[in-house]
A and B are shown apart, each in its own frame.
Chain A
Amino acid sequence: AQSVSQHNHHVILSEAASLELGCNYSYGGTVNLFWYVQYPGQHLQLLLKYFSGDPLVKGIKGFEAEFIKSKFSFNLRKPSVQWSDTAEYFCAVKPRNAGNMLTFGGGTRLMVKP
């Protein structure tokens, strides 16, 4: 079975700082990768996804993520965070063509100070 690790549980940044949230997964086969975001009081929303092709994917609100197959990683980045980026971020993995299970990492709670 697959598993997902997010290394940072809590991150505090000042506005305009750069962000990188780590995500590593373990699974021997091909996977689809996702980052979801949960803003305070709101439901889980898809931020970006990677299925195939260019390993650098761009999502909404200036976020991007890079899939590095050799490192089993899919780190999320943003060059300059805003206060409105305060949220919890979840990395998720689904094996391609193998069952239904979307497995989530433990989440990273980001607080951006104005």
Chain B
Amino acid sequence: SAVISQKPSRDICQRGTSLTIQCQVDSQVTMMFWYRQQPGQSLTLIATANQGSEATYESGFVIDKFPISRPNLTFSTLTVSNMSPEDSSIYLCSARNTGEETQYFGPGTRLLVL
């Protein structure tokens, strides 16, 4: 299994600002993902973070709003840009290895935008 940590665990931000969330995995993993869990709702995949190349975004999510970096096989960042109150959510990092079907999740970053 993979142990995933995220920083910060929570933050309160002003609209118009940006926040970068960090995700660290305790072992090398081939695939990393970023999810959003809006209040009272389920998890929605934002994008797959690809090591050494641009992230693959799901419908409804764009790179300008959610830029993602993945410099190596254990680390990724998600930036929430030009935030509005609608971005208030929990953002979760997830990881899985190719050939394995079980996906592991980080503790999440709880974001409140005022």
Q: Which residues of A pack against B, CB within 8 Å? A: 32, 34, 36, 42-46, 49, 51, 90, 94, 96, 100-107
Given contacts A44-B92, A51-B101, contact A102 B45 (CB under 8 A): yes
In the assembled complex, the CB of B113 is this many whole angstroms from the nearest CB of chain A, namely 21
- 21 A-B residue contacts at CB 8 Å? A34-B102, A43-B105, A43-B106, A43-B107, A43-B108, A44-B92, A46-B102, A49-B101, A49-B102, A51-B101, A90-B43, A100-B31, A100-B96, A101-B58, A102-B33, A102-B94, A102-B103, A103-B45, A104-B43, A106-B41, A107-B41
Q: What secondary structure prevails in chain B residues at the interface with A?
A: strand
B42 at the interface (CB under 8 A from A): yes
Interface contact B105-A100, CB-CB below 8 Å = no
Interface contact B106-A94, CB-CB below 8 Å = no
Which residues in A have their C-beta under 8 angstroms from that of B106? 43
B88 at the interface (CB under 8 A from A): no
- In the bound complex, CA of A105 to CA of B44 (Å): 10
- Given A46-B104, A94-B101, 19 additional A-B pairs, CB 8 A: A32-B101, A34-B102, A43-B92, A43-B105, A43-B106, A43-B107, A43-B108, A44-B43, A44-B92, A44-B105, A46-B102, A49-B101, A51-B101, A96-B101, A100-B48, A102-B103, A104-B43, A107-B41, A107-B42
Which residues in A have their C-beta under 8 angstroms from that of B44? 104
Q: Which residues of B pack against A, CB within 8 Å? A: 31, 33, 41-45, 48, 58, 92, 94, 96, 101-108
In the assembled complex, the CB of A7 is this many whole angstroms from the nearest CB of chain B, namely 14
- In the bound complex, CA of A103 to CA of B44 (Å): 8
Across the interface, A100 reaches (CB within 8 A) one of B33, B41, B92, B102, namely B33
In the assembled complex, the CB of B4 is this many whole angstroms from the nearest CB of chain A, namely 8
In the assembled complex, the CB of A41 is this many whole angstroms from the nearest CB of chain B, namely 9
Which residues in A have their C-beta under 8 angstroms from that of B41? 106-107
- In the bound complex, CA of A96 to CA of B104 (Å): 17
Which residues in B have their C-beta under 8 angstroms from that of A103? 45
